[in-house]
Amino acid sequence: MSHDHPHAPPRPDDPEPRTYHELLGVALSNLLIEKGIYSAAEERQRIEALEAVTSARGARVVARAWVDPKFKARLLTNAREAVGELGIEHVDSELTAVANTPQLHNVVVCTLCSCYPRTLLGRPPAWYKSKPYRARVVREPREVLAEFGTHIAPEREIRVHDSTAELRYIVIPERPAGTADWSEDQLAAIVDRDAMVGVAEVTVPEARPET
């Protein structure tokens, strides 16, 4: 096979591929750039934009839902439109918010791959994509949550959401007691990613956020 055409040089931020699939990823990326489907600069910018999104966005949504019951109602009815009110553009899929209550705890998984509400939470953590989490949380959610340190009372229903197709999910955790006089920004500061996936609940830190 003739192989005399020039190849793009490796980019400086490429780590040495260690596995077959990493090598495949680099080869695919290089081919797309070589063929002019997109440029190396466009790829870099896209990765930077993806990595710039953090779960602080989702935390703003949750804090708003806690302080504004009408916003929460709109969020539960049409999450995509509701987050748009906060200037968050969610375009790639449908967005669905599910709310925890004293009687119900929600947790999210994608058993088939790793569907995740990236516009609200950024990139998924490694455990969310791992086969053990995906296989076990649909089958023994209480045990898996306990391993995260989250103990759901036996009488409280657990509802697992398997994100199989077009919808992405964010869990609206319960607002912790003792935060009645907190500002929206202070509330947002204590809402962490894992609570919005549903493997944790929001707890009040010893020191109140200063924001």
Partner 1 sequence: MARFGIGDQVLIQDRYTPAHHRVPRYVKGQRGEIERVCAAFGQPESLAAGGDGEPFQTLYRVRLKQTDLWSDYAGNPADSLEIEVFEHWLESAD
To the query of whether residue 163 is one of the catalytic residues in this protein, the response is no
Positions 117 through 146 that interact with partner 1 (CB under 8 A) = 138-142
DSSP code, position 96: E
Question: Do residues 107 and 160 touch, judged by C-beta distance below 8 A?
Answer: yes
Asked if residue 165 binds partner 1 (CB under 8 A), the reply is: yes
Asked if residue 94 binds partner 1 (CB under 8 A), the reply is: yes
- The number of beta carbons lying within 10 Å of the beta carbon of residue 29 is 16
To the query of whether residue 183 is one of the catalytic residues in this protein, the response is no
Number of residues that bind partner 1 (CB under 8 A): 22
Distance CA 42, CA 56 (A): 25
Asked if residue 158 binds partner 1 (CB under 8 A), the reply is: yes
Asked if residue 92 binds partner 1 (CB under 8 A), the reply is: no
Asked if residue 28 binds partner 1 (CB under 8 A), the reply is: no
- The number of beta carbons lying within 10 Å of the beta carbon of residue 131 is 8
Q: Which of 39, 113, 130, 183 is catalytic?
A: 113
Give the three-class secondary structure for 106: strand
32 vs 53, beta carbon nearer partner 1: 32
Asked if residue 156 binds partner 1 (CB under 8 A), the reply is: yes
Q: Which residues make Cβ contacts (< 8 Å) with residue 43, sequence separation at least 6?
A: 29, 32, 33
Asked if residue 161 binds partner 1 (CB under 8 A), the reply is: yes
To the query of whether residue 39 is one of the catalytic residues in this protein, the response is no
Least CB distance to partner 1 at residue 178 (A): 28
To the query of whether residue 93 is one of the catalytic residues in this protein, the response is no
Distance CA 33, CA 8 (A): 8
Catalytic residue numbers, as ranges: 110, 113-115
